[in-house]
Amino acid sequence: GAVVSQHPSRVICKSGTSVKIECRSLDFQATTMFWYRQFPKKSLMLMATSNEGSKATYEQGVEKDKFLINHASLTLSTLTVTSAHPEDSSFYICSARGGRGRNQPQHFGDGTRLSIL
Amino acid sequence: SQELEQSPQSLIVQEGKNLTINCTSSKTLYGLYWYKQKYGEGLIFLMMLQKGGEEKSHEKITAKLDEKKQQSSLHITASQPSHAGIYLCGADVSGAGSYQLTFGKGTKLSVIP
């Protein structure tokens, strides 16, 4: 159980394009979803936390207008990288967490490799 | 400053050998999670520890959280090539109920057949 699907797995596009990444919890309801960015040999960097039906909470230094997050249902969150530029190239990973108690781990998608030319 | 320190950064062991990876925090760990990641892929949940002194095992992997809840270790017994990957510890260091996790930089494990 606890499967999180992330799509697409890889995107290569031109500078200025907007890219949407989907994160779905397949077999549980995700009350909270998280979006991370991972740089080579670095920790996962939390970008934002989204709760179903409410606005996402962005971490300091993350541009809200650049990285649009929508969590419209308990099984789907999307991250849209608007007007992407080469510096946005990275590995983006989502995670989903069900329930509100402390004993619920985050379950991760397989990540999206974004390359902006 | 890095809130979670993992050691070692990388590890190369012969198949069949035991190994230990450590995760240390300067703050109290309200929840400690171990994940495994293969390069360019997502994270696979291994184990979660919450109570001081807690120990959990799954197959050949054992994780412990010390009594002070500031350090955790992950021990692999009789390592196999399938254990190779990047091991990440993630922790709730705020205790504020946001359930956000801070991650270490990871330990890259290579197992030589």
Query: SS in 3 state form for A17-55?
Result: CCEEEEEEECCCCCCEEEEEEECCCCCEEEEEEEECCCC
| B113 vs B111: CA distance, rounded Å | 6
By C-alpha distance, the chain A residue nearest B30 is: A102
| B72 vs B88: CA distance, rounded Å | 11
* pLDDT the model gives residue B1: 52
From its phi and psi, is residue B53 left (phi > 0), alpha (psi between -120 and 50) or beta?
A: left
Tokens found for residue B59: 């197959």
User: Is any Cβ of chain B less than 8 angstroms from the Cβ of A58?
Assistant: no
Residue that the structure tokens 């390359």 belong to? A115
Q: What is the mean pLDDT of chain A?
A: 91
Residue numbers in B near A93 (CB within 8 A) = 42-43
CA distance A88 to chain B (A): 16
By C-alpha distance, the chain B residue nearest A34 is: B100
User: Is any Cβ of chain B less than 8 angstroms from the Cβ of A89?
Assistant: no
CA B40 to chain centre: 18
Q: What is the pLDDT along chain A (117 residues), one digit of tens a residue?
A: 678 999 999 999 999 999 999 999 998 888 899 999 998 877 899 999 998 878 899 999 999 999 999 988 889 999 999 999 999 999 999 999 886 666 788 999 999 999 999
What does the pLDDT look like over A16-34, one tens digit per residue? 999 999 999 998 888 899 9
Cβ–Cβ gap A4/B42 under 8 Å: yes
Cβ–Cβ gap A107/B103 under 8 Å: no
Supply φ then ψ for residue B32, to 5 degrees. -125, 130
Q: What is the share, in percent, of chain A residues with pLDDT greater than 70?
A: 96
Average pLDDT by stretches of 10, chain B with 113 residues:
86 98 90 90 92 93 92 97 96 75 94 95
| B108 vs A15: CA distance, rounded Å | 33
Cβ–Cβ gap A106/B41 under 8 Å: no
